[in-house]
Amino acid sequence: MKKVLYSIVDNVAVITMNDEQSRNALSTQMTEELIAALTKANEDTHIGAIVLTGAGSSFCAGGNLAEFKQFLEMDVPELYEDGLSSTRLFQMRNQLIKPVIGAINGPALGGGTGLAALCHIAIGSEKSKLGLTELKLGLVPYVILPLVRRAVGERRMMELMLSARVLDANEAKEVGLLHEVVPHGQLLESALLQAKAIASYSPLGVKMALRAFEETAEMGVEEAMRVLSTMRLISFKSEDLREGAKAFLEKRSPQWSGK
């Protein structure tokens, strides 16, 4: 991978978008490498959580304007095929069994805001800025709309999309795009601390928590209760729950098997 750095800190995968010249824009190559890196971490049994961040002063500038000229010259089938990688990237939210902690280190605009919304927990530096700026270019945030709408709600999504305004870190936290704002120099440390804490829990428990959330997201209360009651049986029959209860009674750290 040339546009993405992949490293491991204890049992946390750190994925860094690394194209400072474009401010980590979501070029076709960047998108494909992000998919590959997230897939690698998601499938690695030794990884308990993922931290996603950007190199340099930006988190992600959104779409790569340098590629837009090529898009304008493509016919519809070519344009559709080229856009599939972007769609696949944001669809990964429903496939992840490892939580993604976003370390939003600077501007995260357009698709960058979509990436922040893809993260299960988003921690922003005081230097971070977020916003759906697509309308300023005559575009619409098509692919990222569902994730951002889930993060901020219906009416706020409409306002952010139509105003195309850029929010500072505290405003982004207020509307729900960020969970926490920390001093810039403490950002990666804070994200790793959160990721390591989650990675210390039962791998099966974390996986089931993500599945329970995603699978019932569009359900009514009654239907969700029925599905969750069934899913609960997996936890109650798991080795991890047995080990967790035993470790609690014996006042020791649990040794998770992920089963």
- Does residue 15 contact residue 6 with C-beta atoms inside 8 Å? yes
**CA torsion sign, 85 to 86 to 89 to 92?**
negative
Q: Comparing C-alpha atoms, which of 213, 210, 259 is closest to residue 98?
A: 210
Per-residue confidence (pLDDT) for residue 231, from 0 to 100: 86
pLDDT reported for residue 144: 95
pTM for the whole structure: 0.91
Gap between the Cα atoms of 199 and 49, Å rounded: 5
What is the pLDDT at residue 257? 84
Strand partners, 54: 17
Alpha-carbon distance 111 to 161, whole Å?
12
Residue 128 confidence (pLDDT):
98
Q: How far is CA 141 from CA 22, 112, 164, 199, 200, in A?
A: 19, 11, 10, 32, 36
User: The tokens of 223 are what?
Assistant: 């239907």
Residue 66 has pLDDT above 90, yes or no: no
Q: pLDDT for 171-195, tens place per residue?
A: 999 999 999 999 999 999 999 999 9
What is the average pLDDT value for the chain, to the nearest integer?
A: 91
DSSP state letters, 39-59: HHHHH-TT--EEEEEESTT-S
pLDDT-derived band of residue 50, with 50, 70 and 90 as boundaries? Answer: very high
pLDDT for residue 84:
67
79-111 pLDDT per residue, tens: 666 666 678 999 999 999 999 999 999 999 999
pLDDT at 60 over 70: yes
- The catalytically annotated residue of 43, 67, 81, 134 is 134
pLDDT over 90 at 9, yes or no = yes
Identify whether 43 is a catalytic site residue: no
Q: What percent of the chain stands above pLDDT 90?
A: 73
